[in-house]
Each structure stands twice: as structure tokens, then as C-alpha cells.
Amino acid sequence: MPTMNPAEGITSETIAMLRKAVSSGVLASTGMFGVDLSGRVALIPVNVPARNNTSAFPRVIAGEGDPLARWRAWLNVNSQQSSAAVGSDYAGSATLFQEQDMFAPYKPLAKFGRATLDAVAFARNYDDALADAELQTLMQLFISQDMAIINHQNWALPAVGTVAPAASATGGTIGASLTVQVQVAARSGANYFEGGSGPASTLVSVATGAGTTNSVSASWAAVKAAAAYDVYVGLAGTLWYYTTVTTGSVTITSLPSAAAAVPNLPLISSLAPGAGVLPLANPAVGGNGHPPTLDTSYSANYYNGVVASDLGDFGSTGPVTPGLGVPSGCVFQDGGGNVLTLSGGGITQLDNLNNAIWANVQLSPTAYMVNSLQGDEISQLIVGSPSSTTFLPPTDADARTNLAGGGFIGRYVNRAAGGVPVAIEVHPRVAPGTIIARTDRVPFPGSNIGTAFEIRCQYDSMRFDYAANWAPGVSGGGPRYDFEIRSQETLVNYAPTAQGVLANVG
């Protein structure tokens, strides 16, 4: 039995072990050290400009419970009115009226969070684990709300029109005398960021010539409310996903033998295309790489965001697929896949959009909602043009010797409206190739429109706590705090006729 040191109360064996561990001096590897508890950080970007823009999209609580937000509107039939000029003693001509019942379904947006009792205990005096879980869950709900406000859509995209293929003897590695087949599936804005698409277009074919350096190009017209297009390519009926483009054209340089990776576009969904599965039905299910036959361009769980409420036709219970109802009056322009161009010191495409909105309702957009790529292109074109002027302070030497390089165009002058400045807003959840001209105010006499858009809620961003049931044998099934942060909301678009969308921009 080990002998005890009565003075120290430890065994002789323990003393011997400590002697073996003695080192020549106090070293970094063997000496004392503390525990440096730096503060916790979060590296999750929460950039939600649409959700936080309460001037353009005020969040209001509905006055009474209803599954639908409902209102009625007098539509613009000015061009159908007869002249007010009548002869003496004749009655005035009849005023024409067209009333439209408007609907926007309320939809819940919700994110679930959990913190176990043990996790809260282990983080004590360092972090509040439950508060962290709640904050991160709330931030994810904000991101979902930002997405819904711009992109969600509960009507199906129109079908992709005729796809026109053409073969070239150069530019690729496609072999000689092959019949190359192509199909295209349109993605809505929600599809761009969350996965899915409409069904594939009609199959088209083109024959290559002699040689082994052939390529194939294909083009099609922009689909209303489409943000991007999945391209499928192959031979003899076996087509694979080739790429996703944000314009109505593609150049095919090789024949795929398997589904390609999704290209590196800003914030595009990494969900493999071709699955034919609703994004919200099972987001874990990837695509099989072949052309989809199911239509996942919309979801019954979505309300209609800015793009969908602008471009959808008026239907009996809300916006419907363009061509199936009364046109909303929103200006839609197909950019033809062309890049933005400069003319007369201005951007041709923006000037065309402004002219069309002015001709439609004699109003100017309040802001252009753009992706960072289009925001950068606008700035490069204007700042890089000879008409761009730099003003240097004549007497401030420090300002003249510490200039900042570069420049961002934050406002654009609407020449059609007599020089009204239009803000340029960069939104992470506007897809590249799409520019939304948003008009916030409609100051017509008797319009009764405070703001053109409104986020109308039955309840807004509330926490709901679940009772934690007993779940033995499951990690996380013990004592815990289960909760959900959710809202019941919809976007009300009072004036789609004052809005504009430019799509298919190169």
C-alpha cells in the first residue's frame, strides 16, 4: 500500500510522478497559462434592405382577421374615353369606369429555433445561448421576409417560347454531324435564390457540320417574371443540365455527359436543377440533372412579391399568370440580352423604361432596385464617360491631394419626367439581369394611396414557444427551449400600373 506524506496528504507515488515532470525553467509549453475568453462573433450576413425599408414597404397590422387582404380599384381607361367636346344643347359624353376587385393572400413565414437546457448551462457567464438562438432565428426570418417581398410568386410562369438554335463550325469541341438537342426551363426570382423552375420548353434540335470544333447557340424571348433560365443539352433524347443564364441566350461549346455544376452567379441556389420538386416541399431533394416536367416556378405557400404583383394579370382571386386575366398595366421590357449602353450621357435602357412609365401614368420611379452587378455597370458606364465631371475644390489643398478613387452613381436623372432624380438601390435578392423600377407615391387626385406598397400583417414577427415533450434516445430531445418566430403577412401592391420591370439584361 502506498505510503502517505502526512504533511501534504499525497502518496509517495504521486511525488515521484511530479519529480519526473520537473522541467528546467518555466516554458510556454509546460508553464501556467490562462484561458482567453474572447467574445463570441457571428459571420452571418443579414442584408435585408427591402424588409427594412419601411418608407417604401411599411409594415402595418390589418384591422380585422381575414385570409385575404382585399381592396377595390378603379383601373386606367383614359385611352378609351370619348371626347368631352359636344355641341351646344347636347349632353356630355358618358364617362367610362372599370372596377377591379383586388386580393392578396396572407401567408405565414416562420423559422424554428432550439436551445437545450444543457447548452444554456455550459454557456453560462460567457454567452446567453437562448438569446443567441432567438437572435439568429429572427435574422433568418428577416432574410426570408426580404426574399418574399421581392421574389415570392404564387402563380405559374408563362411557358418558354420558341427556342431558336444555330450551329457554328468554330468555338467549341462538339463533333461532326451530330444532332444536338436543347431545352430551356425558366426560373422565377424565387427559383433563382431557392431552387426549382418551370417545366422545360419544347425540344429543339440542330445538326453540326463537319469538323470537331463545332459550337451551338440558342436564343429565346424573355419570359415575364423569369429571372434566369436553366439550359439542358444532349443527344438522342438524353439531355443533361448544362448551365444557368440570366439572359435569353446561351452558347454551348461541349456536350455534357452528366449534370454540370451550377455556375457562380450571385447568391444563386446550389440546389441541383431538374428535380421537379417544389422548393418548400423538400428542400433537401436535389435535381437529377435532366429537363424537368413539373412546374415548380411557384408555390401555394408564397404570397406575391413585388415582381409577381407587378407582372401578374388581375384574376378573380388575385394575380394570375400573364395572359390569363386583365393586364395589370405594369411596364415590362425585354432587354434582349443586351448589355447596358450609354447614349447622350444616360443609360439607354433606363431612359426607355422611364419613357414607357411616363407615357403610361405620367409618373417617375422612386428607385431602381438592382443587383450589385447592374449597379456597378451603371456606375462604370457613367463615371467612365467623357460627360462625367469631377469637381476639385480650388483652395482646399488637403482635399486635392487625398482624393478617393472610383465612384458610385447613387441617383439617375429621369429626363422623361423633367429631371426627377431616381435612387439606385442595390438589393442582394434582386437577380442579376433584372431591374425593378419601383414607384412609391401615386399623387393622383383622389387616389387614396399613401404608399404604393404595403406589408400587411395579421401578426408581425412574433415568438411562439412550443412545449418540450419527452423524447428519450434522441440528441436534443431532453430539456430544451423550442420556439418559432413567425409572421402572417402579404404584400399589397396598390399601383402595379405605376411600376416597371426590365428583364433579360446582359
Q: CA–CA separation, 183 vs 125, rounded Å? A: 59
pLDDT of residue 9: 55
Asked whether the beta carbons of 428 and 52 are under 8 A apart, the reply is no
How far is 434 from 424, CA to CA, in rounded Å? 13
Place of cell 384574376: 315
Give the N- to C-terminal CA distance of the chain in Å, as an integer.
86
Q: What is the pLDDT of residue 10?
A: 63
Burial of 64 (0-12, 13-18, 19+ CB in 10 A): exposed
List CB contacts of 90: < 8 A, sequence separation 6 or more.
none
Q: What is residue 171's predicted lDDT score, i.e. its pLDDT? A: 94
Predicted local distance difference test score (pLDDT) of residue 19: 60
Say if residues 228 and 268 touch (Cβ distance below 8 Å). Answer: yes
d(CA 200, CA 316): 28
Question: What confidence score (pLDDT) does residue 285 get?
Answer: 44
What's the pLDDT at 338? 93
Q: What is the CA radius of gyration of the chain?
A: 30
Q: What structural domains and CATH numbers belong to the chain? A: 47-76+100-155+301-389+405-506 (3.90.1690), 159-297 (no CATH)
pTM of the model: 0.87
Residues near 478 by Cβ (< 8 Å), separated by ≥ 6?
116, 117, 118, 471
C-alpha cell at 179: 444532332
Q: What is the pLDDT of residues 375-400, one digit of tens each?
A: 999 999 998 887 666 666 677 777 77
pLDDT 10s digits, 27-51: 777 777 787 878 888 888 889 999 9
Per-residue pLDDT 10s for the chain (506 aa) are 555 555 555 666 666 655 665 666 777 777 777 878 788 888 888 899 999 999 999 999 999 999 988 878 777 777 777 888 888 988 888 888 877 788 889 999 999 999 999 999 999 999 999 999 999 999 999 999 999 999 999 999 999 999 999 999 999 999 999 999 999 999 999 999 999 999 999 999 999 999 999 999 999 999 999 999 999 999 987 899 999 999 999 999 999 999 999 999 999 998 888 754 444 444 444 567 889 989 999 999 999 999 999 999 999 888 999 999 999 999 999 999 999 999 888 899 999 999 999 999 999 999 999 999 999 999 999 988 876 666 666 777 777 777 777 888 899 999 999 999 999 999 999 999 999 999 999 888 888 888 999 999 999 999 999 998 888 898 988 999 999 999 999 999 999 999 999 999 98
DSSP label at residue 326 = B
* pLDDT value of position 403: 74
Residue 31's pLDDT is what? 75
Which residues, including other chains, have CB under 8 Å from residue 162's CB and lie 6 or more apart? Answer: 202, 204, 220, 221
In this structure, how many other beta carbons lie within 10 angstroms of the beta carbon of residue 53?
A: 19
Beta bridge partners of residue 501, listed in sequence order: 332, 436
Collapse the DSSP code of 351 into the 3-class scheme (helix H, G, I; strand E, B; otherwise coil) and give the result: helix
State the Cα–Cα distance between residues 181 and 240, nearest whole angstrom. 10
Give the pLDDT of residue 14.
63
Closest CA to 247 of 376, 153, 339: 339
pLDDT at position 284 is: 43
Q: What SS3 class is residue 344?
A: coil
The predicted pLDDT at position 279 comes to 42
190-236 per-position pLDDT tens digit = 999 999 999 999 999 999 999 999 999 999 999 999 999 999 999 98
Angle value at C-alpha 174, between 168 and 179, nearest 5 degrees: 80
pLDDT for 18: 55
pLDDT at 5: 53
